[in-house]
Structure formats: C-alpha cells, structure tokens
Chains A and B, each alone.
Chain A
Amino acid sequence: MDSLFAARSTMAISLGFHIIFAITGMVFPLLMSLAHYKWLKTKDDDYLILTKWWMKGLGIFFATGAVSGTALSFELGLLWPTFMKHAGPIFGMPFSWEGTAFFLEAIFLGLYLYGFKYLKPWTHWLTGLGVGICGVLSGIFVVAANSWMNSPSGFKWVDGKAIDIDPVAAMFNNAWLSQSMHTVITAGLAVSMAVMGIHAFFIFKKKNVSLNIKAFKIALPFFLLSALLTPISGDFSAKDVAKRQPLKLAAMEAHFNTDTRANLLIGGYPDVENQTVKYGIKLPGMLSFLAFADVDAKVQGLNDFPKENWPPVVPVHFAFQIMVAIGSFALLVALIIIFNIFRKKDYLKNSFILKLFIIGIPLGFIAIEAGWTVTEVGRQPWIMYGILKTSEAVTPMPGLEYSLFTFTALYLFLASMVSWLMWRQFKLFQKEEGSNA
C-alpha cells in the first residue's frame, strides 16, 4: 500500500469517526439544557427523566469524542509532520483557543454530570449550558483551523518556507466564516434530527408516548431553525468556494468545460476519462446562478486546470449530491411540520411524518460525513491549497498501512461498543414509565 494512501485513509477514518462525536458533544448539551430548563421551570418530572437519560448519552459521546480528538491532534504530526512544521506556527492560533474552550467544556461537563447533589439547581443548569456553549466555540475554532487549509493566508511562501507569519490573519482567513457557520448549523440539524427520529420511533411504537413527545418537541425548534438555515449557509459556502476554489466547485458539479450559463447537475455519474456525465439532470444556467448569482456568469471547468491538480471527481461529486439531497429532505420535512403547526394539526399522530423522522435518524450524520468529504477530498491534491501538496507532507516512515489497520480496528471496536451501549440504553428506556404513568 502506498504511504500517501495509507496516511490519507487513516486521517479520513479518524476524522470521520471523531466528527460524529464532536458534533454530538456540541449540540446535545444544548438540547439537554433545554430539557433541564423545562424541568426547573415546570417541575414536570418527565423533563427530569429525559435530562438524566440524555446525560448518560452525553457522557458516552463526550468521552469518545474527547479521546478521538486527542488522537487526532497527535495524528496531525504522526501522519503529516512536514505540514505541521510549516503550518503549526501559522494555523496554531485557533487550536490554542480551541484548547481553552475545550478545557472549560471539560470542567463544566464534570460539574454538570456529577453535580446534581452538589450544586444549586440553577448553577447546575448553567454548567450544562456552559458545556454546550464551549462545545460550539471549540467547534468554530477547529473549523477555522481547517478552513485555513482551504484558504491559506497570513504568511508569504518563499522558497518552500513560510515567512512574515501573521496568525491572526491566518485564523480569519477567507473560508473561516462560511465553513464554521455551515458546520455549526448542520451539526444542529444532524443531532436534532437524530434525537427526534429516535423519539419518533418510540412514539410510533406507542411506548411512553407523552414522555417521548416532550423529548421530540425539545429538539423541534433546533431542527426547524437549522433546517431552514442550512440552505442559506450552504449557498453562502458554495459562492465562497466558487470564488476561492473554482476547481473544487468544478469537481463537486463534475463540470468539465468552462461555460457561461453553466448547467447545474443533479445526480449523474461522471465519466472522467471521456469527460461526460451519464444519467444526470441538467438545469441550464442554474450553476452560474448558484455560484455567482447571475445565470450568464462564467463558471470555470476542470479543463482550465492541469490534470494533476484535479481532486478525485467521482467521490467529490457523489458526496456533494448526497449532502444536498439530505439537506433538501430536511428542509422539506421542516416545511411539512411548519405547515402542520399553522394548520394546528397533530402531526405526531401521522405515522407518515413519524416515519420520515425515523428515516432521518442517520441522514444528518451521513450528510455531515459527505460534507467533510467534499471539503477534504475536494481540496486534494493539496494539504495547503495551492501551496503544499499532500504527497509532500506525508511522514517518511514506511509501513503506514499498519497504523491504518490499527486505527481502523480501534475505531471499529469503539463504534460497535458505542452502538451496543446505545442499544442497551434504548432497550431500558422503552421500559421507562414517565411521570404520568
């Protein structure tokens, strides 16, 4: 196995694993705080029951996210030492702020998870909210670091070395805002959708319905808000990518030749060798419109760039399609719910709507993985876009496939353990009577 492939696969598996736990650790505490708040305000014990169940889930997800995050911070050096040598001083700043936010998060988590008996009710509640706020902040900082790889700034590259380093300019690079915004919003979407789906399942199965309806409705505002905002932040990101990384946009859309009034491609299988797309639906001018807000705008195609700098077109295109499809599904579901709320209909008695949410359980996470594939694979062959190639950054150590096997085995094991624990938790939760029983 070639070193570069092994290193990239290791990174992909580690990131793909970590991100599930990272976004859950960001959003879930906010849902839990809302349940806790409702308990403090209404004294309805159902909310307390929910809070306590969710705390268990958070404990498991946070611990798994923390260790996989620790592993990632080391892996940057293990796999890409040349990159870290150049990039460490430039993009380290958001990591140092992330460290602070994460430290606070860990402290609040300890106070929250173990604090029921020790803290005053509202102080205790505040520590839970603190976990969520610090989680979101550390997410923003980490994504800012990643965005710098897409939009390297804050230095001059002279003879293979970075000089005139300005870490502040690097942190606030051109991509940080669109990427952080899109990540935070879609994290909210993925986690709230999964939580609602799980409770929709119990409602569907008629298990302690009133408790599950309360859980569902706690996540509902998060879902509606993020489902409505996702297309907006997605559009903002796409326009940003069109400006900064035209090649990535071309790969996302399998857009081979530069065109005015460029087609938006929906679905389709890109045949890179013959530079055609089979089976897709083409909407004339829509790509130009989405990228530059003008149906006649020129959109650069892959052929404008040397072939050795193309990202792998097929996976990037598919990942992008999956992400957009799931985003659209969420938007549609959100609109159906809003319609029902306005019509004052009890949509939770509608088994079709419940089924939509049950289908939605994994979808948000799949979209998150797809989105990361677009960002990361779409940046290839560069690790620092336009400056340093991934192949130049990989560690010289031979036998990287063994690291890949090790991490793959580790994360498969942890993933099955977490699934097993969740399954046990759901099994027991089914028997939960709720306060009204």
Chain B
Amino acid sequence: MLEFIIGILGTSLVFYVIFAGADFGAGIYEFLSDVTKNKSRKKLVERAIGPIWEANHMWLILAIVIFFMGFPEAFAQFSTIFHIPIVMILVGISLRGTAFAFRHYDSIQDEWQKRYTWLFGVSSVWTAFWQGVVVGALFGDLPSKQTDFYSTYVHPWFTPFSFCTGLFVIAVYLYLAQTFFLSETDEYPEMAESIEKDVWKSLLFVFITGGLVFIAAWLTQPKFFSAFFGHPVSVTLLIITTLLLVPLIKSYRSKRFHWARFLVAVQVAFIFLAVFIKRFPVLLSFNDGSNLSYSIAAAPEATLRQLTYALAVGVTVVLPFLIYLLKVFKSSTSKKKRAT
C-alpha cells in the first residue's frame, strides 16, 4: 500500500517535470528568443500546449495532495522551512498560468499580446528557478530545530548549490520544450530547422548548468555525490542515462523527434529514480543526523487505505481520458485536421 502511494507520488512528480516542464520551457523559450517577432512559433506553442495545459498542472496538485494526506508530518516540516521559496513558486505559477490564458482568450488581439507574452516568459523562468532551488535544497540537511530566522528559513535554500540547481532546471525545461516542439512541427517544416539549431544550444546550456551543479556540490555540498553514486542500481541507471545520449543525438540528426522526446522523458525518469533509490527510505534528512523516513512520516493505516482506493480509482478513471486527450490533439490525423 505504502509502496503504491510512493510510486504514484514519484510518477506524478516525474510526469509534472516531463509535461508541465515542457510548457515551462515554452515560456522560457519565448522569453529568450523574442517570439513576438515570430508569430508562427507562438501559434505552435499555443497549439502544442494549449489543450493539455491544465491537465499538465494537475500532476502537481496530485503530488501535493498525496504529500499532505499520506505524509503529513513531512509536509508540515517541508512547508514550514521552505515558506519563502514556495511563496515565490506560487507567485510564478499564478502569473504564468493566467498570462498564458489571458494571451489566448483576450478578445482584442493588440499590443497587450506582447505584455502577456513577456509576463508568461519571465514568470516561467522565475518559477522554474525557484522549483530548482527547492529541489537542490532537499539534497542538503534541513534544520532539526527552529532557531533563528536565517538558519531556519533562509539558509537551507540560500546556497550556491541550490541556485545552481535552479539554473539547471531552467535549462532542462527549455530543452524539454524544444524537443517537444520538434515533435510537433510536422506542418511547420521551416520552423523545425530553427528549433533544431536551438536544441543544440540548450543541450549545451544543460551541460554547462549541470557542470555548475557538480562544481557547487563539490565545493559546498559533498552529500550530493553520495546521493547519486552510492547505490549500484542508481549508478547503473545513471550510466544508462548517459549512454542514452548516443541514440538521442542520432535521433535529432535523423529527425525522429518523437523518438527523441521519448528518450528525454526516459532520462528524466531515470535520474529521478536513481536519486530516489539511493535516498530510500529517507524522505527528509536533518542536520542533527536524524531523518524522517517514508514509513515513519506515513499517515495511519486507515488513511493510507483510503488514499490507495482514491488513487486506484483516480488512475483508472483519469488515464483513459488523458490518453484520449493526447490522442485527439497529438495524433497524426488531428495534425492534418489542424493544417486544413
């Protein structure tokens, strides 16, 4: 039961990164490349992510509900310590979600489009950064006791390492988005070319920021390496992830973008899995050497049972409709309809 719940929690986080990450990346991409000059790219962005936008963001809601219902103690600690970055994330989520909708549904298409686009872009960069900051901070130890303001509510995330993971997440989202858009460009061949050029740049951006993360970790966060390289399964997963770069690069060259997208998704999932396996059963670790494991933080049996039922029914009901949604808007026939 607990395993099932942890599994769904992990899956929803991975799906959030893969699906919502791509639409975060869309905003980052627009911000960096001044799409206001490129109307067809804006159209591509809206067509590619518009229909699935709201569904993408449900993964986060699902994760948060599982978190507070299934692991209430950990949720309370997490949201107390990370108050500041979470507020930053929420502001960003609110602004980008509404800016995207405003741009699409504003009845009058005038110069306000530029402002919505700017807001969508800047808040996408902002939110991705703060999400990365929180993720980075979770590799470190959290304060076990509430002492002064700085050491309890600022220090855990105000580190060079966390800021580097923030930049890294921006890069990853950007890269996910471009890969996703490439698989959507069937009817815009001229755009495929320019996005393809950008993919190499953002891949480089991923490597540079990834490098920064490692350097920052080496200098300030030694625990990070043990979080990655301590478990044989984790190491194997990471090796596979690295090796997957070969078919990935090949698939870009041979323009099999759907295949590229799948490979990138697998890489993201493997990195998550590697970290999870190494850390298991620790959910949160503290600076006095203690930690909170999944089973200790878990809600009582009766709650877990109800959560399992709800998730089982939820998955059974939601998945077919989700697949239907993707099929309607992403299948090749629908693309033909779109083109006509």
Q: Which chain B residues (293-340) contact chain A, with CB distance < 8 Å?
A: 299-300, 302-303, 306-307, 310-311, 313-314, 317-318, 321-322, 324-325, 328-329, 334, 337-338
Residues of B within 8 A of A59 (CB): 101, 104-105
Q: Given the known inter-chain contacts A89-B69, A118-B329, please indicate yes or no for A398 contacting B76, CB distance below 8 A.
A: no
Contact mask for chain A residues 14-58; partner B; CB cutoff 8 A; 1 contact, 0 none: 000000000000000000000000000000000000000000110
Question: Does residue B94 face the partner (Cβ distance < 8 Å to A)?
Answer: yes
- Which of A62, A82, A397 is packed against the most chain B CB atoms within 10 Å? A397
Question: Does residue A315 face the partner (Cβ distance < 8 Å to B)?
Answer: no
Contacts A64-B98, A99-B58 aside, 9 further interface pairs with beta carbons under 8 A come to A63-B100, A71-B93, A71-B94, A99-B314, A107-B54, A110-B51, A113-B50, A398-B149, A421-B107
Assembled-state Cα–Cα distance A385/B75 (Å): 22
Are B68 and A67 touching (Cβ within 8 A)?
no
Assembled-state Cα–Cα distance A64/B53 (Å): 13
Assembled-state Cα–Cα distance A242/B295 (Å): 42
Assembled-state Cα–Cα distance A69/B93 (Å): 11
Q: Given the known inter-chain contacts A100-B317, A428-B107, please indicate yes or no for A66 contacting B76, CB distance below 8 A.
A: no
Stretch in A165-173, A291-299, A325-333 touching the partner: A165-173
Question: Does residue B102 face the partner (Cβ distance < 8 Å to A)?
Answer: yes
Q: Which chain A residues (365-401) contact chain B, with CB distance < 8 Å?
A: 395-399
Question: Does residue A111 face the partner (Cβ distance < 8 Å to B)?
Answer: yes
Are B101 and A117 touching (Cβ within 8 A)?
no
Stretch in A90-98, A204-212, A356-364 touching the partner: A90-98
Question: Does residue B108 face the partner (Cβ distance < 8 Å to A)?
Answer: yes
Are A89 and B72 touching (Cβ within 8 A)?
yes
Question: Does residue A275 face the partner (Cβ distance < 8 Å to B)?
Answer: no
Q: Which chain A residues (64-106) contact chain B, with CB distance < 8 Å?
A: 64, 66-71, 73-78, 81-82, 84-90, 92-93, 95-100, 102-104, 106
Please give the number of chain A residues whose Cβ is less than 8 angstroms from any Cβ of chain B in the complex: 73
* Among A71, A168, A396, contact of B146 (Cβ-Cβ < 8 Å): A396
Are B62 and A99 touching (Cβ within 8 A)?
yes
Question: Does residue A338 face the partner (Cβ distance < 8 Å to B)?
Answer: no
Q: Given the known inter-chain contacts A97-B310, A110-B325, A417-B102, please indicate yes or no for A62 contacting B337, CB distance below 8 A.
A: no
Residues of A within 8 A of B57 (CB): 66, 70, 106
Q: Which chain B residues (260-311) contact chain A, with CB distance < 8 Å?
A: 299-300, 302-303, 306-307, 310-311
Residues of B within 8 A of A98 (CB): 65
Are B65 and A397 touching (Cβ within 8 A)?
no
* Among B50, B87, B94, B325, contact of A67 (Cβ-Cβ < 8 Å): B94
Contact mask for chain B residues 37-61; partner A; CB cutoff 8 A; 1 contact, 0 none: 0000000000000111111011011
Residues of B within 8 A of A71 (CB): 90, 93-94
- Tell me the minimal C-beta distance from B299 to chain A in angstroms: 3
Are B317 and A85 touching (Cβ within 8 A)?
no
Residues of chain A at the chain B interface (Cβ within 8 Å): 56-57, 59-60, 62-64, 66-71, 73-78, 81-82, 84-90, 92-93, 95-100, 102-104, 106-111, 113-115, 117-119, 165-168, 395-399, 403, 406-407, 410, 414, 417-418, 421, 424-425, 427-429
Assembled-state Cα–Cα distance A74/B66 (Å): 12
Are A63 and B101 touching (Cβ within 8 A)?
yes
Assembled-state Cα–Cα distance A82/B77 (Å): 9
- Which of A68, A98, A395, A421 is packed against the most chain B CB atoms within 10 Å? A421
Are A89 and B303 touching (Cβ within 8 A)?
yes
Question: Does residue B83 face the partner (Cβ distance < 8 Å to A)?
Answer: yes
Q: Given the known inter-chain contacts A95-B69, A428-B107, please indicate yes or no for A64 contacting B101, CB distance below 8 A.
A: yes
Write the chain A residue with the least CB distance to B310: A96
Are A84 and B64 touching (Cβ within 8 A)?
no
Are B76 and A93 touching (Cβ within 8 A)?
no
Residues of B within 8 A of A88 (CB): 68-69, 72, 75-76, 299
Are B314 and A103 touching (Cβ within 8 A)?
yes
Residues of B within 8 A of A414 (CB): 94, 98
Question: Does residue B78 face the partner (Cβ distance < 8 Å to A)?
Answer: yes
- Tell me the minimal C-beta distance from B90 to chain A in angstroms: 4
Residues of B within 8 A of A90 (CB): 303
The 14 listed contacts between A and B (C-beta, < 8 Å) are: A64-B97, A70-B94, A78-B87, A85-B72, A88-B68, A89-B70, A93-B303, A95-B69, A100-B314, A102-B61, A107-B321, A107-B324, A110-B325, A111-B325
Assembled-state Cα–Cα distance A74/B78 (Å): 11
Assembled-state Cα–Cα distance A108/B328 (Å): 12
Residues of A within 8 A of B97 (CB): 63-64, 66-67, 70
- Tell me the minimal C-beta distance from B53 to chain A in angstroms: 7
Residues of A within 8 A of B105 (CB): 56-57, 59-60, 421
- Which of A59, A73, A99, A396 is packed against the most chain B CB atoms within 10 Å? A99
Are B69 and A96 touching (Cβ within 8 A)?
yes
Assembled-state Cα–Cα distance A421/B106 (Å): 6
Are A81 and B60 touching (Cβ within 8 A)?
no
- Tell me the minimal C-beta distance from A405 to chain B in angstroms: 11
Question: Does residue B198 face the partner (Cβ distance < 8 Å to A)?
Answer: no
Are A428 and B108 touching (Cβ within 8 A)?
yes
Residues of A within 8 A of B146 (CB): 396
- Tell me the minimal C-beta distance from A144 to chain B in angstroms: 13
Q: Given the known inter-chain contacts A89-B69, A100-B317, A410-B91, please indicate yes or no for A60 contacting B101, CB distance below 8 A.
A: yes
* Among A95, A410, A421, A427, contact of B65 (Cβ-Cβ < 8 Å): A95
Are A70 and B93 touching (Cβ within 8 A)?
yes
- Which of A82, A106, A115, A421 is packed against the most chain B CB atoms within 10 Å? A106
Are B80 and A165 touching (Cβ within 8 A)?
no
The 8 closest A-B pairs by CB, nearest first: A92-B69, A77-B79, A63-B101, A88-B72, A89-B299, A106-B54, A96-B310, A100-B314
Are A114 and B329 touching (Cβ within 8 A)?
yes
Residues of A within 8 A of B186 (CB): none
- Tell me the minimal C-beta distance from B42 to chain A in angstroms: 16
Are A166 and B337 touching (Cβ within 8 A)?
no
- Which of B69, B80, B334 is packed against the most chain A CB atoms within 10 Å? B69
Are A73 and B300 touching (Cβ within 8 A)?
no
Assembled-state Cα–Cα distance A400/B331 (Å): 48
Assembled-state Cα–Cα distance A71/B127 (Å): 13
Assembled-state Cα–Cα distance A235/B329 (Å): 47
Q: Given the known inter-chain contacts A89-B72, A96-B65, please indicate yes or no for A118 contacting B328, CB distance below 8 A.
A: yes
- Tell me the minimal C-beta distance from B20 to chain A in angstroms: 11
Question: Does residue B163 face the partner (Cβ distance < 8 Å to A)?
Answer: no
Residues of A within 8 A of B299 (CB): 88-89, 92, 165
Write the chain A residue with the least CB distance to B64: A73
Are B318 and A424 touching (Cβ within 8 A)?
no
- Tell me the minimal C-beta distance from A65 to chain B in angstroms: 10
